[in-house]
Amino acid sequence: MSSAGWIMLIGALVGGSCALLGCFLVLRKISMLGDAISHAILPGIVIAFLMTGSTSSFPIFVGAIVLGLLTAFLVQTLARSGVQGDAAIGVTFTSLFAIGVVLVSQYAAQKDLDLDCVLYGEIAFTPFDRVGGVPRAFWVNLALLAVNGIVLGLFYKQFKLCAFDPEMASAVGISVAGFHYLLMALVSITTVGAFESVGAILVVAMLIVPAATAYLLTDRLEWMLAIAVGLGAASSVAGYFMARGLGCSIAGAMASVGGLFFATAFLFSPSHGVVTRRVAQGRMRRTVANEDMLLWAGRRLEIEAEPAFDLRTVSRGIERLPRDTGTIVSRMLRAGLLMEVEGRYRLTERGEGRALELIRRHRVYESYLDELGYPVDHLHAAADRVEHHLSPALTAAMDAAVAYPERDPQGKPIPGSQDPR
């Protein structure tokens, strides 16, 4: 495979295994602890490196795990001895990171250790260090992804419960602290694997950004994990192309692409997007306006035969500004619910059908509330709000519950109300 292919593959593996853990960090609201660990394991790596003299060895993972768990432990200990939680994280990771930087600067000249390499990583170099024709980084990150997948798979139920309801988890006998530290250990080793590719600082982008994006796209943990892994891999690949196009840092480009994915989900997520929700609100507002107009016109049907009205009457009737009324009327003309006859407006046959259906909903709901003992003089206001949200099935069910009355509590007829038997 070409080295570009290997880079993308390794990037995708890193993105995938980080995103997998990131989901649990985001759900447990400890994202910044992930950030802290990714910084704080630096001295562990440096010490292990100085002792063994190689970057590929098992001791580096041990050093990282020790420092990662130490970070989690220090944060918890400080928080327990009265230091505010966010400050405890800040003090711990900056101190450990500073120790790491001092160590690197002291010994960098003697050993082959470059601060820039540890901090930014350089995924472009990973394909050159090969084991059996395959880049070493590929094996390492594949193994890390497998470890994360196996551990999370084995204890999926426990991690899930700890993420959503820690009190419940400890009540049923799950060691919440134990799984917390297990997660922290996984974050530590995964961060080491990611170091070579994206460096200490941008690991947090791989951990948090895809997970937070997936959090906006689904309400199910299984899907969140799958989407996050997919996004992590996708932002690595897209980041590579962006970096090649611009000639900039690959790691930085990966983080930037991840940010773009998040921004897109933030705006356009089907369920939680800001724009999506705005659009849905606008649609709802138009539906309500249309239905209010239909209801008003439908009630006129009960007073006069073939009623027709001008804009001013409609405007006064539905209590909206003439300009808004014009918009509503032209919308309904287009929908074929209204027709224009000699400068006045009349309901079409379809419009009448819709209006009667709405009136039926309104009055059935009033009857139902009346049956519940709700004050009669409050029925109309309540029904006026709820009528837009009642489905035909629910209306039929309520109609059955009040035994198919012919008239509503105010004595007005309920259209189409009859016992189906």
Partner 1 sequence: MNWLWDPNARWILGGCMLLGLSSGVLGSFAFLRKRSLLGDALAHAALPGVCLAFIITGSRSLGGFLVGAALAGLVGAACIQVITRYSRVKEDAALGLVLSVFFGFGIVLLTLIQQSQKASQAGLDKLVFGQAAAMVSGDVQTMAICAGVVCLATFALFKEFKLLCFDPGFARGLGYPTALLDGLLMLLIVLAVVVGLQAVGVVLMAAMLITPAAAARLWTDRLDHMVVFAGLFGALSGAIGTGLSTMTLRMPTGPLIVLAATSVFAASLVAAPRKGLIARWVRLIRLRRQVAREHALRSLYELAESRSNWTATISVADLAASRGNAESGLRRVLGELGHEGLIRVEGGSISLTESGLNAAYQVARNHRLWEMFLMHEGQLGADHVDRDADVIEHLLPRSIVEELERLLVVHGRHPELPPSVHPLRSV
Q: Footprint of partner 1 on this chain (CB under 8 A)? A: 25-26, 29-32, 34-35, 39, 78, 81-84, 86-91, 94-95, 97-99, 101-102, 105-106, 109, 115, 119-120, 201-202, 204-205, 207-209, 211-212, 215-216, 243, 246-249, 251-256, 258-259, 262, 266, 272, 274
145 vs 242 by CB, closer to partner 1: 242
CB 261 within 8 A of CB 235: yes
79 vs 288 by CB, closer to partner 1: 79
194 vs 356 by CB, closer to partner 1: 194
Give me the DSSP letters along 220-277. -HHHHHHHHHHHHHHHHHHHHHHHHHHT--HHHHHHHHHHHHHHHHHHH-TTT-HHHH
Q: Which residues contact 140 (CB under 8 A, 6 or more apart)?
A: 56, 193
Determine the Cα–Cα distance for residues 270 and 129; give it in Å rounded to an integer.
43
Q: Exposed, middle or buried, 298 (CB in 10 Å: 0-12/13-18/19+)?
A: buried
Minimum distance of partner 1 from residue 231's CB (angstroms): 13
CB 293 within 8 A of CB 328: yes
204 vs 398 by CB, closer to partner 1: 204
24 vs 365 by CB, closer to partner 1: 24
Minimum distance of partner 1 from residue 44's CB (angstroms): 16
Minimum distance of partner 1 from residue 33's CB (angstroms): 8
Half-sphere exposure of 309 (CA within 13 A, CB side): 24
Minimum distance of partner 1 from residue 83's CB (angstroms): 6
Determine the Cα–Cα distance for residues 73 and 81; give it in Å rounded to an integer.
12
Question: HEC states along 33-70?
Answer: HHHHHHHHCHHHHHHHHHHHCCCCCHHHHHHHHHHHHH
User: What tokens appear for 54 in the block?
Assistant: 């190689």
234 vs 311 by CB, closer to partner 1: 234
Q: Which residues contact 278 (CB under 8 A, 6 or more apart)?
A: none
Q: Exposed, middle or buried, 46 (CB in 10 Å: 0-12/13-18/19+)?
A: buried
Q: At what angle do helices 349-371 and 392-401 cross, to 10 degrees?
A: 40
Minimum distance of partner 1 from residue 103's CB (angstroms): 9
88 vs 338 by CB, closer to partner 1: 88
99 vs 311 by CB, closer to partner 1: 99
